[in-house]
Structure 1
Amino acid sequence: MKADYIIVGAGSAGCVLANRLSADPKNRVLLVEAGGKDNHWLLRMPLGFMRAYKTPHFLWHYETEPEPSLNNRRIAIPRGRVLGGSSSINGLFFMRGHSLDFDTWRQMGCEGWGHADVLPYFKKMERSWRGAGPYHGDSGPLPVVPVDTSRLLHEPLMQTAEAAGFGTTEDLHGEVEEGFARGELTIDEKGRRASTSRAYLTPALARPNLTVVTGALTRRVVIENGRATGIEVHRDGKTEQYHAEKEVILCGGSYNSPQLLMLSGIGPGDHLREHGIEPVADRPMVGRNLQEHPRVPVHFAMSKPASFLNELRFDKVALSVIRWALTGRGAFATQVNSANPILKSQPDLAQPDLQIWANPIRMDAKIWFPGFGERQEHRMTADVILLHPRSAGWVRLRSADPGDSPAVTLNIFSEPEDFETARRGIEIVRRIYSTPPQSEFTGREIVPGAELDDPSALDTYIRENAMVTQHPVGTCAMGASPDTVCDPQLRVRGVAGLRVVDASVMPTVPGANTNGPTIMIAEKAADLILGRPSLPAEDPRTLKEAAA
């Protein structure tokens, strides 16, 4: 099989590229995915994610190596194994990140990736409920809608912000990029999940120049005379090669893209030789710089029976699923997020470093039957998420077998500053949830427990309970330095005809759920790959100052 462009991985980035590259009928595009189709109803219904991300058929069942700073616990790191990748199983939350996140990339040597450079691509991809404006687009493939907060105790939390010492904002992606805000989701007009498979790939499937192959595990990139010429895949019990006339583009994500580079001989030379792989390009930074958003659980009992557990009574669940199927509306057609506080743990910071995972539901909530068994206690979560952790981990090969999962060490909380930030976050959550009117719903603190306020005791709690948000980035980072894995055009250094386009190229983790920024990267990458001029930079702040 031959194509001009071979895209490996039909996830958040791969589906975008398949659409954009195949828009020109002259380009023959082959999209190769190891997983299967994404047509299960749980992957369509927004609230179905609470089941989907636990369903074996939809997942790569990865977990970390024993985490050195978390008492050697192994952390579950599931990834989507269907068309759309993790955009088909995630919590549908849409964020971009703070403008300084991208300006920092530019300052690190990633020319063309500052906020003014990437804003046009965010606007291009977006079909925002807000309509078109300086910060938003209204005609892109990706629909973005607000959380339906009618059952989610949104108002008490928003009204608490000022009394607790924080602000609010109508738009975290506009002029005011911090404060308590209403969450936004990738859901289409029919109430269905808008994964990249549904938003980008499905509309392009009828094109004769686009071929999609599922159930095909890529074993390695074929490299001849220093150039990527294709890939080797295993499918239906057979191993075969697909040839790329122009480029091979890896879109496997922050775990699988570095794994595939190393299986192809691109990575730390000594490590590759340990697994019997002869290095083609000795690139020590492949698999390094792994960054994630750590999450520290903070849970409260509720003083009133007002959690989303009320919507999980068996008969209500049945009616909600039927209503969603028929109308795309109702309790199961949205998320379970009260609000999206993006805050500074210290007032002198240049940008927010905390996100509060504010949900009026316990994470182990179960459907219940009136009169049968004991109903669960009403609880709410307010987990502390570190948006800019100092700690970084790595991805290595477990073996030379492409069927083996990569060996991932997140290494979270290896830096003392991250413990300090998490403790400040816990203090902030306690202040928020003890302040009226939110406090009217707050019962006892279940974890960590109000009695736990000593720094050493809190650090012990963090080591025993910290998790992650499934936002890995950075393992094939771009940059200007010759040591970086990719250049700012996302080309792999040392091998011609090979790029990486996914979250692994981000040099730092943005202060946001990473699905949105990954889609933006793929939109911009399409222009880079096709040799088109980038969209003109836009800076609404400069335009506003000029108008004033």
Structure 2
Amino acid sequence: MSELFDFVVIGAGSAGCVVAGRLTEDPAVTVCVLEAGGSGNSALVNIPAAAVVMLPTRLNNWAFETVPQAGLDGRKGYQPRGKALGGSSAINAMVYTRGHRSDYDHWASLGNEGWSYEDVLPYFLRSEHNERITNEWHGHDGPLWVSDLRTDNPFHARYLEAARQTGLPVTDDFNGAVQEGVGIYQVTQKNGERWSAARAYLLPHMKKRKNLSVETHAHVQRIIFEGSRAVGVEVMLAGKNRIIRARREVIVAAGALQTPQLLMLSGVGDTQELGRLGIPVVQHLPGVGKNLQDHPDFIFGYRTRSLDTLGISFRGSARLLREILRFRGARRGALTSNFAEGGAFLKTRPDLETPDVQLHFVVAMADNHARTLHLGHGLSCHVCLLRPRSRGEVTLQSGDSRDAPRIDPAFFNDPRDLDDMVEGFKLARRLMQAPALAEWITKDLFTAHVNTDDEIRDALKRRVDTVYHPVGTCRMGHDTHAVVDSQLRVRGLNGLRVVDASVMPTLIGGNTNAPTIMIAEKAVDMIRGAPRARLRCVDTIDRNPARARA
């Protein structure tokens, strides 16, 4: 292995895979990717339903915890993060949503030139290979496979009928003309298998491109600077400390929790905070680790009388054997499930301009991130607040890179978030109580005696946690607390760029995997200094509602 490359990419998650895969399309460019986890190409990763094994454990998962949350009655939250090639796209629910066009227009309004919806849509299109939808809002030639679910679960139709019975709009495309509505998610799958960012952008090239070097089980300890320029990294690899140098740039793509941690360990952050840990300061950037945003999420849980919902039972075990054979023969059925098969983007008040809550309809009993199991079969429904006002932070527990970051999402620190979640709770429960679903439910496990607003608030404080969308800890901008500029270059330093969800100035209204991939696609053009051929863009998103509703 060479010790000198044009680019060193730290982290092979959703963003790092894109950057490495795209940059090495140029044979004159050399790239080294450093990933702390393993290959990300096992049956555990590629069989979608196997996520239920990874999510609650340390298999391909950092499995972080938060500090006690005052807004959650002092409970610690759980923060699973992918630890393998593909990062969190190797363990997530594969939901493909982009957020609302206004999210990106808001980024641009904050002074981030080039980040409006019209600017970023071409990069969504560039990444996407949509199997079904062929219109101006979707790409068809990208490496990221986006497909309809192959579970053939009859609860899809029941869920949509419940929406109609409740008077809610129904859609077959959350990423088209109108986001609002109830529908069945498209997922990052190909032929019924998980299609992580690694399978899309990295794995196909690892043995073919001589200019691409990928090192797994590589724990980066710090970024090395010469003056104000990042020139390489110190990494623990095969039990030895190594120095790997970058001619052009060090690109940090370790995610919203570990990118700020690595920057601070390397001397980039708030001078006083670093000084308390004895870390020499390279650049005073007080915004590093601040501005943490995440979607607070509540889960309803119900027992059902249907084996079409996943669960633990003797009859269910017999059916599972048949589903294994079905998956092996046709790549269809329950093993292709992402669990969160249906969803919705809804407004808790009719006067809102955009949906403010998102639902994930789960064809299984979900409790405590799958760490608490229940006998029998069940349904669940997540409801999360899309644009919370609360802001948390990521800080260091110590100067040792082996220690986990100190994570404080500060859920419900702003009391208005709790008020908004009360309304989201009512809306989601109304949908779940519609006849099309209620006839299958035998027991409400968590909210049977929750009725008044105060009782709902208590229930929220007892059970809310993350829905796995932390962002914002190295936000782009031009003020003193911005960490990167609109080109994603770390302010005040040279040769150092951040490319991952940490650069988002505000949390988008949806799942964050597709937007993170978009950010990386756009970053590649910034790094190269010249855009690739521009794809067709439209300016009619969310202006023609009739075209998007079923």
Q: So what's the TM-score if we normalise by structure 1?
A: 0.93
Corresponding residue SS for 1:313? helix
The residue that corresponds to 1:371 in the other structure is none
Q: CA deviation at 1:80?
A: 1.2
2:448 corresponds to 1:446: no
- CA distance in 2 between counterparts of 1:152 and 1:49 reads 22
Contact 2:150 2:332 in 1 (8 A): no
1:101-134 Cα shifts (integer Å, max 9, x gaps): 1111111111111111111111110000234421
1:18-57 mapped onto 2 (5 Å cutoff)? 18-57=20-59
- CA distance in 2 between counterparts of 1:152 and 1:56 reads 33
Letter in 1 for 2:538: D
Contact 1:93 1:513 in 2 (8 A): yes
1:136-285 mapped onto 2 (5 Å cutoff)? 136-148=138-150, 150-189=152-191, 191-205=192-206, 206-285=208-287
Letter in 2 for 1:293: H
Is the alpha carbon distance of 1:439 and 1:330 closer, same or farther for their aligned partners in structure 2, counting shifts above 3 Å? closer
Contact 2:301 2:367 in 1 (8 A): no
- CA distance in 1 between counterparts of 2:252 and 2:323 reads 40
Is the alpha carbon distance of 1:313 and 1:133 closer, same or farther for their aligned partners in structure 2, counting shifts above 3 Å? same
Corresponding residue SS for 1:75? strand
Corresponding residue SS for 2:72? coil
Corresponding residue SS for 1:181? strand
Letter in 2 for 1:2: L
The residue that corresponds to 1:433 in the other structure is 432
The residue that corresponds to 1:423 in the other structure is 422
Larger mean CA deviation between 75-84 and 21-30 belongs to: 75-84
The residue that corresponds to 2:548 in the other structure is none
1:439-518 mapped onto 2 (5 Å cutoff)? 439-449=438-448, 451-518=449-516
1:296-311 mapped onto 2 (5 Å cutoff)? 296-302=298-304, 307-309=309-311
Larger mean CA deviation between 384-393 and 520-529 belongs to: 384-393
Corresponding residue SS for 1:180? strand
- CA distance in 2 between counterparts of 1:364 and 1:294 reads 15
Larger mean CA deviation between 306-315 and 192-201 belongs to: 306-315
Letter in 2 for 1:21: L
- CA distance in 2 between counterparts of 1:540 and 1:170 reads 20
The residue that corresponds to 1:339 in the other structure is 342
Larger mean CA deviation between 355-364 and 468-477 belongs to: 355-364
Letter in 2 for 1:539: V
Larger mean CA deviation between 16-25 and 319-328 belongs to: 319-328
1:435-493 Cα shifts (integer Å, max 9, x gaps): 232332244432122x3222222222211211111111000011233430000100000
**Number of residue pairs the alignment of both structures matches:** 536
The residue that corresponds to 2:523 in the other structure is 525
Corresponding residue SS for 1:380? strand
1:81-115 Cα shifts (integer Å, max 9, x gaps): 11111111111111111111111111111111111
Contact 1:265 1:277 in 2 (8 A): yes
Identical residues among aligned pairs (%): 38
- CA distance in 2 between counterparts of 1:57 and 1:292 reads 23
The residue that corresponds to 2:389 in the other structure is 390
Corresponding residue SS for 1:203? helix
Contact 1:361 1:381 in 2 (8 A): yes
Is the alpha carbon distance of 1:151 and 1:284 closer, same or farther for their aligned partners in structure 2, counting shifts above 3 Å? same
Q: CA deviation at 1:49?
A: 0.8
Q: CA deviation at 1:147?
A: 2.0
Letter in 2 for 1:484: A
Q: So what's the TM-score if we normalise by structure 2?
A: 0.93
Is the alpha carbon distance of 1:409 and 1:364 closer, same or farther for their aligned partners in structure 2, counting shifts above 3 Å? closer
Q: CA deviation at 1:56?
A: 2.1
Corresponding residue SS for 1:520? helix
2:361 corresponds to 1:358: yes
Letter in 1 for 2:317: F
What RMSD over aligned residues (CA atoms) do the two structures have, in Å?
2.2
Is the alpha carbon distance of 1:163 and 1:542 closer, same or farther for their aligned partners in structure 2, counting shifts above 3 Å? closer
Q: CA deviation at 1:152?
A: 4.5
Corresponding residue SS for 1:356? strand
Letter in 1 for 2:487: Q
- CA distance in 2 between counterparts of 1:321 and 1:364 reads 24
1:47-80 Cα shifts (integer Å, max 9, x gaps): 1111122342312131111112112211111211
Contact 1:117 1:537 in 2 (8 A): no
Letter in 1 for 2:328: A
Corresponding residue SS for 1:340? strand
1:370-397 Cα shifts (integer Å, max 9, x gaps): xxxx993432112211111111110001
- CA distance in 1 between counterparts of 2:330 and 2:306 reads 31
Corresponding residue SS for 2:224? strand
- CA distance in 1 between counterparts of 2:89 and 2:305 reads 35
1:367-386 mapped onto 2 (5 Å cutoff)? 376-386=375-385
The residue that corresponds to 2:547 in the other structure is none
- CA distance in 2 between counterparts of 1:76 and 1:200 reads 29
Contact 1:25 1:209 in 2 (8 A): yes
Is the alpha carbon distance of 1:145 and 1:536 closer, same or farther for their aligned partners in structure 2, counting shifts above 3 Å? closer
Is the alpha carbon distance of 1:537 and 1:408 closer, same or farther for their aligned partners in structure 2, counting shifts above 3 Å? farther
